[in-house]
Amino acid sequence: MGTADAASKDVTVRLAERKPIVVFVLGGPGSGKGTQCANIVQHFGYTHLSAGDLLRAECNSGSENGTMIQNMMNEGKIVPSEVTIELLQKAMLESGNNKFLIDGFPRNEENRAAFEAVTKIEPEFVLFFNCPQEEMERRILNRNQGREDDNIETIRKRFKVFEESSLPVIEYYKARGKVREIDAAKSIEEVFDALKVIFTTTVGKVVTT
């Protein structure tokens, strides 16, 4: 166990030395985060990291860690923050980039506190895709991804989880002047126009302690 802890500490130190720019991307299901993250990657050279994708990839890898994550998910348990943070740190180091969009994380206050405590990194800012529930429902039901979880009851449960868990994170960063709120109900073009303003005027100008 000591070796794993030492390796984890080494990753943390190496990452902190690079002083990466981290932007948290939060918003309810169907708020358009994925579409806009792809635009930001293309135009501003960020690396897009989805916490959910990293966890799924680890599960599919067949590693011991992946099996543990899969078992927890099957039992409906929440994967410990440290596990997700370790995957994020590893992906950040391996990317070779220094600018990151972290999508769908932190999901709750415990995630947030653990991320800052473990990585010693504070986000440059938090992008909050604010979208009315009716609009998010409409989008999810209209998209043809064949996702079995895209039924109205499941969607509403996901909205509820987002509101209860993620809004406190947004409030925390709002109090620190770090939230950039987007009217995500607008068209894809209008939303990206607003994002372009944020990324050309904010990055590198937020004072971090």
Average pLDDT rounded to a whole number, residues 109-128: 94
Is 18 annotated as a binding-site member?
no
Q: What is the mean pLDDT of the chain?
A: 86
Whether pLDDT at 207 is above 70: no
Q: What is the pLDDT of residues 121-168, one digit of tens each?
A: 999 999 999 988 888 888 888 775 555 555 777 778 888 888 888 889
Check residues 203 and 98 and name the one with the higher pLDDT. Answer: 98
Extract the tokens encoding 139. 């989008």
Identify whether 207 is part of a domain: no
Confidence of residue 3 (pLDDT cuts 50, 70, 90): low
Q: Is 178 annotated as a binding residue?
A: no
Which has the closest alpha carbon to 49: 38, 62, 39? 38
Q: Please indicate if the annotation marks 78 as binding a ligand.
A: yes
Split into its structural domains, the chain has a count of 1
Residue 208 belongs to a domain: no
What is the rounded distance in angstroms from the CA atom of residue 157 to the CA atom of residue 58? Answer: 25
pLDDT at 206: 40
Residue 14 has pLDDT above 50, yes or no: yes
Would residue 82 count as lying in a domain?
Answer: yes
Residue 145, domain member (yes or no)? yes
Q: What is the pTM of this model?
A: 0.84
Residue 64 or residue 9, greater confidence: 64
CATH number for 156: 3.40.50.300
Q: Is residue 16 part of a domain?
A: yes
Query: How far is Cα 160 from Cα 139, in angstroms, rounded to an integer?
Result: 17
205 falls within a domain: no
Domain that holds residue 36: 2-200
Widest distance between CA atoms in the chain: 51
Please give the share of the chain, as a percent, with pLDDT higher than 70: 89
d(CA 26, CA 105): 7
Tokens of residue 57, six digits = 């990839």
Is 209 domain-assigned?
no
Confirm whether residue 56 is marked as ligand binding. Answer: yes
The answer to the question of whether 204 is labelled as a binding residue is no
Tell me, yes or no, whether 206 lies in a domain. no
Residue 183 bridge partners (DSSP): 130
- Size (the chain), residues: 209
Contact between 140 and 203 (Cβ < 8 Å): no
111 marked as binding residue: yes
